[in-house]
Structure 1
Amino acid sequence: MQLKVLLPSGIFFESDNVERIVAETRSGSFGILPHRRDCVAALAPGILTYQEANGSPAYLAVDEGALAKVGMKVLISVRRAIRGTDLGQLHDEVKRQFLTLNNEERQVRDALHKLESTFAGKLAEFAHER
């Protein structure tokens, strides 16, 4: 099968020689073999496992996204992904990258909240002066 993983910034991973894929949804995990029926699934954040021909399993830590299988092509679109072959190292990398991003997102939300509050206060002052 062909496997292509897309991020908002472009192609993250691509392989033309994948034998099997195991993905996670909110309802649980499911496997994809080459002759499985076509399908579409909403992916939950978690570990996606794939195995290339004559290779050992490899892993992708993915954020929420979507998976579509059409014929022998599997297309996955997620916001963030990290690739690895060792689950321990992948876990550490996920903690480092994803938690850092979550802290940055929280700081941006806090800054926007302060900006909105200041704007609303100034708007109220302006309306009261009229």
Structure 2
Amino acid sequence: MRLKILLPYQVYAEIDDVSRIVVETPQGSFGLLPRRLDCVAALEPGILTYETKAQGEVYIAVDEGILVKAGADVLVSVRNAIGGTDLGTLRDAVARDFVNLDENERQVRAVLARLESGFVRHFTEYHRG
């Protein structure tokens, strides 16, 4: 498989010959092997693990985002990513930087959620009327 990790402002990594990928979703860990059917999955902040023959097992801390598998290509689009080999350090980074959102960001997300739900409600009312 070919793994491409995208951030809002750059391509974080492009890795060829990936033999397996494991990510964290709201439903738990999710693994991909080369012959898996195409799919889409929402990602939670956590550790993305991939393996190649050349590098072995590699860990990357990722923020929330989305994974899309289409054929041999796996695209992971996340808000932020931190690479490293020390799994303990990466877990701390996930807890510190990704999971513990500051209060302002929580308030902004709450306002956006209310705006989105209001838009959907008005849109469905418009189509009924």
TM-score, normalised via structure 2 length? 0.72
Cα drift, residue 86 of structure 1? 1.2
State percent identity of aligned pairs.
Answer: 57
Shift of 1:94: 3.9
Which residue, out of 92, 103, 106, partners 2:104?
A: 106
Show the 5 A alignment for 1:7-18.
7-18=7-18
Partner of 2:4: 4
* Shift in CA distance, 65/37, structure 1 to aligned 2, threshold 3 Å: same
CA RMSD of aligned residues (A): 2.4
Q: Which deviations, in whole Å up to 9, do the C-alpha atoms of 1:93-118 show, x marking residues without a partner? A: 4455448x944x739x7xxxxxxxxx
TM-score (norm 1): 0.71
Moved over 6 A (4+): none
Deviates more, 1:70-79 or 1:52-61: 52-61
Alignment of 1:17-32 (within 5 A): 17-32=17-32
Give 1:56 deviation, angstroms.
2.2
Max radius of gyration: which structure?
A: 1
- Number of aligned residues: 108
Residue identity matched to 2:76: I
> 1:7-63 CA deviation, whole Å, 9 max, x = no partner?
101101111121100011101111101111111111111111111124321111111
Structure 2: 5+ residue runs without aligned partners? 108-129
